[in-house]
Amino acid sequence: MKWLRETYWHQLFEAGVFFKALNSTWETLTGIFLLTALRNWFTHTFIYVGVSEFLGSRDDFPFTYAQNHLMHVPPSSRVFIGVYLLFHGLMNAFLSYNLYRDRLWAFPVSMSFTSAFFIYQVYRLAHTHSPLLLVISILDIAFIVLTWHEYKRQEKKQHALKNN
């Protein structure tokens, strides 16, 4: 029964790493778009898709959200958000790859990195009360717990290999 539970924890961890890697792609691309001239292309593409039949009318949520938030972001905020997303995305991609490869050093680095961003998210959450940021913060806590559990598992596994 313990083997089954460990397998379940391991699969949850692998799913978490997969979603971190997937999210890192989105963050990296969005960071690049915000920091380059491609942001105009991105904004116009989003608006074009927003007015098409795919998302519905101009009064639907995705279009109004983009219009109210993406179109009116000051340039200095755009740069901050772009750098933040680019850095966070690249680090998550790097760490996800190394976690997937079971590199022992990547586990504490990943937990530290996620914890540092979690602290910033809590600070932002206190000011914005964003439900999305709350969900992201809860998922980060879950990922830290899964990473800790997998780290202990990998430590035992690598220690057993050294003693054989």
What pLDDT, in 10s, does the model give residues 31-78? 888 888 655 666 666 556 555 545 555 566 655 665 566 556 677 777
pLDDT of residue 78: 78
Question: For the residues of 45-99, what is the DSSP string, one character each?
Answer: HHHHHHHSTTT-STTSHHHHHIIIIITT--HHHHHHHHHHHHHHHHHHHHHHHHH
In a domain, 23, yes or no: yes
In a domain, 63, yes or no: no
> Which residues contact residue 92 at a Cβ distance below 8 angstroms, ignoring those fewer than 6 apart?
20, 21, 23, 24, 27
pLDDT of residue 130: 84
In a domain, 116, yes or no: yes
State the residue range of the domain holding 36: 2-42+83-163
As for how many domains the chain has, the answer is 1
In a domain, 32, yes or no: yes
In a domain, 48, yes or no: no
In a domain, 88, yes or no: yes
Tens-digit pLDDT profile for the chain (164 aa)?
777 888 999 999 999 999 999 999 999 998 888 888 655 666 666 556 555 545 555 566 655 665 566 556 677 777 888 898 999 999 999 999 999 999 999 999 999 999 999 999 999 899 888 888 899 899 999 999 999 999 999 999 888 888 87
Crossing angle for the helix pair 131-163 and 106-128, nearest 10 degrees?
A: 170
CB 113 within 8 A of CB 95: yes
Mean pLDDT score of the chain, rounded to an integer?
84
